[in-house]
Amino acid sequence: MYVSSSFFLLALLSQCRHVLSQSQNNVTLCQKSIIQQVTNFYEYKRKAYAYDYCANIGDGRGYSSGIIGFTTATHDALLVIQLYKSKSSQNTEFDKYLPTLIKIDQTGTSSTDGLDGYCKIWYNTCQKEDFRKAQLEIAENLYWYPSQNFSDKIGLVSALARGQMFDAFIQHGYTNTDKDSAIGMTNQTESILLSKNQSTPLRYGSEITWLTEFLKVRENTLTNPQNPATRDGFRASLWRVKSYQFSLSYLINITTIALNNTGGNITDRALLSFDNELVILDDKGQKAYIPCDLNIWTQNVGYMYIPPNNDLSVGAIMGIVVGGLCLVAICVVLFWCRKRISKKLKVYKVIR
């Protein structure tokens, strides 16, 4: 029953795609490519999509894998696998994991029990175009279009604000209204602005003011998340908000100068716009330049696979432990022998 409902959700999202795609009128393809590369950079420290990435990063969501970190605990990894299966005429590599993934999805647990070898199979399957296409389709339908549709709903028009909303949808989720989610942070932002008698973008308020406040709320959420399971992962990613705060100031400064020189209209949308490149900060606080790249959705650049601890068998773990103990024993014996030889040399010198 639950598998059927998942396929129904995929069909519904596909039907809604045409309607939701109208929200792209506010974002060019170049801007979209930059926005998605920025989130890739935050997630994987590189601009290209990491189709074959898979690891348990300890954020309370099980395995994170693929181009936007589809997780085993939050439904989207299961959707990718089910969509891939629907495109295949035969059994897939993931069939043996489906019962476990469905059970995990129903309970929302971060456990990876029963998923031994999952990351290795994810990595190997990424050589198949159908699997990569399934990742792109779920990412578009579950995150890109909903984030842009929501941006329309709350009155965001600039590429930077809409990009920030996409990034928040990816990292925080949006299917509930707890304070850690993108919806929850938006509600907090609007409450703060209204308490200061300031209008929101939907009520003809300043988009710069809204984005500045939203980034403060998101920074506070990453520092003090409501969900303790995500605390360490969120705090380690605080730099991605610092990066957007830098881009906000940077765009305002350079665009103001350009518009003053050309006599253009200084509007929030003009100030927060970028066409061919966006300057952000990396995790070391250094500038990084993200250019327009319309090949982002077709290129497949491999990511280095590092097997998680769960991929190691008990025998392999015991072998590592025994090998380590043997190395320690050898070092102790060598140290003891060195001391004995040193003493004998001293005695020999005295006798001479």
Residue type, 19: V
Q: Which two tokens stand for residue 13?
A: 């999202």
* CA–CA dist 269, 230 (Å, integer): 34
Mean pLDDT of 48-55: 92
* Mean pLDDT score, 144-166: 95
State the SS3 of 70-105: EECCCCHHHHHHHHHHHHCCCCCCCHHHHHHHHHHH
165 within 8 A of 147, measured Cβ to Cβ: yes
122-153, pLDDT tens digit by residue? 999 999 999 999 999 999 999 999 999 999 99
Average pLDDT over residues 237-252: 95
- Helix/strand/coil (H/E/C) assignment for every residue in 25-42: HHCCHHHHHHHHHHHHHH
Rounded to whole angstroms, how far apart are CA atoms 287 and 195? 35
Average model confidence (pLDDT) for the chain?
A: 82
Closest CA to 94 of 69, 64, 121, 63: 121
pLDDT tens, 188-214?
Answer: 999 999 998 887 787 667 899 999 999
The sign of the CA dihedral 78, 53, 24, 86 is negative
- Residue 105: phi and psi, rounded to 5, are -65, -35
281 φ, ψ (degrees, to nearest 5)? -115, 145
Instruction: Look up residue 233 and give its two tokens.
Output: 């992962």
Q: What pLDDT shows up at residue 19?
A: 43
Residue 333 vs residue 106, higher pLDDT? 106
∠ CA 272-143-7, rounded to 5°: 160
The pLDDT score that the predictor gives to residue 313 is 40
Residues 15 and 273 sit within 8 Å (Cβ to Cβ): no
Q: What pTM does this model have?
A: 0.76
For the segment 29-50, the average pLDDT, to the nearest whole number, is 93
Q: What is the DSSP letter of 107?
A: H
Q: Label residue 299 by pLDDT band (50, 70, 90).
A: confident
Q: Are 72 and 82 in contact (CB under 8 A)?
A: no
**Rounded distance, CA 352 to CA 347, Å?**
9
Report the catalytic residues.
Answer: 43, 59
What pLDDT does 303 receive? 62
Residue 337 binned pLDDT confidence (cut-offs 50, 70, 90): low
- Please return the burial class of 340, using the count of CB atoms within 10 Å of its CB with bins 0-12, 13-18 and 19+: exposed
Instruction: Evaluate if residue 310 carries a pLDDT over 60.
Output: no
User: Is the distance from CB of 208 to CB of 272 less than 8 angstroms?
Assistant: yes
Please say if the pLDDT value at position 224 is more than 70: yes
AA letter at 261: N
Which residues have C-beta within 8 Å of that of residue 178, sequence separation ≥ 6?
A: 184, 226, 227
The pair phi, psi for residue 290, each rounded to 5°, is -110, 110
**Mean pLDDT on 247-264:** 80
Q: Rounded distance, CA 62 to CA 59, Å?
A: 7
Please report the sign of the dihedral spanned by the C-alpha atoms of residue 36, residue 39, residue 43, residue 46: positive
